[in-house]
């Protein structure tokens, strides 16, 4: 559409970013695959989650809640609330990509934290598109391959508790949470929602406390800005 094409040097730079993010992110598909089979999902269900759902935090939430004895409904609800941010990423990317038809369906499926991040930081329009598609595809391929490796390894390990896999799930959530805690209001929301979840936990079925804790985010988002951290 009349934009200047990237020169070879820039093209290489962007593609290198795509690949390094793809490899770094894809590798932890191993932990997803292992946790998923430990939670009681079979190999095909595990593969289906990575191929179809394709959003790390939501996938970890589904298997984490199933493993803890939560209902399917609670797992689906938590996964869906976690996936809402992808809708906003789609909004940003739709302006930059200008895609229609099947390409739009493919772009939507590849719309995740990493592809959006690498896309939007590029200064030129053609690099934004290359960054998004390159990262999305690299993460998709690596994530799905590593999921299979993790599921096969997980099946071979047997009893998940013996290898501390029940500590691996909250550690994975910690690692996903960590980069989002840079701002003070985010840390306040994290603290309040953790307390809410622990207080509700003895009185509600597994999976529900996490959904109740999501209220902290809604309250914090609705409060007028610049009023400091959300109150408990």
Partner 1 sequence: MTLWTTVLLASGLAFALKLLGYVVPHHVLDRPVVSRVTAMLPVALLSALVAVQTFTGQGGVFTLDARAAGVGVAVVALRFRAPFLLVVVLAAATAGILRALG
- Cα separation, 24 vs 7, in Å, equals 26
CB-nearer residue toward partner 1: 8 or 228: 228
Q: How far is the CB of 137 from partner 1 (least distance, A)?
A: 15
Q: Residue 56: phi, psi to the nearest 5?
A: -50, -55
What stretches of the chain show up as alpha helix (H) in DSSP? 8-27, 29-38, 43-48, 56-67, 72-97, 101-109, 113-120, 125-157, 165-177, 184-200, 208-213, 215-222
Look at the chain and count its residues.
Answer: 232
**Shortest CB 60 distance to partner 1, Å:** 8
Q: Which is nearer to partner 1, 11 or 83 (CB)?
A: 83
Closer residue to partner 1 (CB): 12 or 167: 167
Q: Which is nearer to partner 1, 82 or 138 (CB)?
A: 82
**How far is it, in rounded angstroms, from Cα 200 to Cα 196?**
6
Residue 10 Cβ vs partner 1, minimum distance, rounded to whole Å? 26
Residue (73 or 121) nearer to partner 1, CB: 73
Q: How far is the CB of 160 from partner 1 (least distance, A)?
A: 9
Looking at beta carbons only, is 18 or 97 nearer to partner 1?
97
Q: Which is nearer to partner 1, 48 or 141 (CB)?
A: 48
What CA–CA distance (Å, rounded) separates 145 from 51? Answer: 10
Distance between CA 209 and CA 203 in Å, rounded?
9
d(CA 24, CA 30): 11
Which has the closest alpha carbon to 176: 28, 6, 1, 9? 28
Smallest gap from Cβ 184 to partner 1, in A, equals 12
The secondary structure of 19-30 as a DSSP string is HHHHHHHHHTHH
Closest contact distance (angstroms) between CB of 14 and partner 1 is: 22
CB 211 within 8 A of CB 191: no
CB of 3 to partner 1, least distance (A): 20
């Amino acid at each position: 559409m009349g934009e200047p094409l990237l020169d070879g040097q820039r093209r290489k730079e962007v593609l290198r970013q795509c690949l390094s993010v793809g490899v770094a992110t894809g590798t932890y598909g191993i932990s997803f695959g292992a946790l998923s089979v430990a939670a009681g999902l079979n190999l095909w269900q595990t593969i289906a989650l990575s191929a179809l759902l394709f959003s790390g935090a939501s996938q970890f939430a589904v298997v984490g809640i199933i493993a803890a004895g939560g209902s399917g409904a609670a797992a689906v609800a938590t996964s869906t609330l976690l996936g809402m941010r992808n809708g906003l990423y789609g909004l940003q990317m739709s302006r930059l990509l200008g895609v229609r038809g099947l390409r739009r369906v493919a772009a939507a499926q590849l719309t995740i934290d990493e592809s959006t991040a690498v896309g939007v930081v590029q200064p030129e329009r053609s690099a934004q598109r290359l960054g998004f598609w390159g990262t999305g595809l690299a993460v998709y391929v690596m994530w799905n391959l590593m999921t299979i490796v993790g599921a096969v390894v997980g099946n071979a390990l047997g009893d998940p508790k013996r290898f501390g896999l029940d500590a691996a799930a909250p550690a994975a959530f910690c690692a996903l949470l960590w980069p989002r805690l840079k701002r003070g209001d985010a840390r306040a929301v994290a603290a309040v929602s953790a307390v809410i979840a622990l207080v509700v936990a003895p009185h509600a079925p597994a999976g529900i406390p996490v959904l109740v804790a999501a209220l902290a985010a809604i309250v914090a988002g609705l409060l007028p800005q610049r009023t400091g951290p959300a109150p408990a």
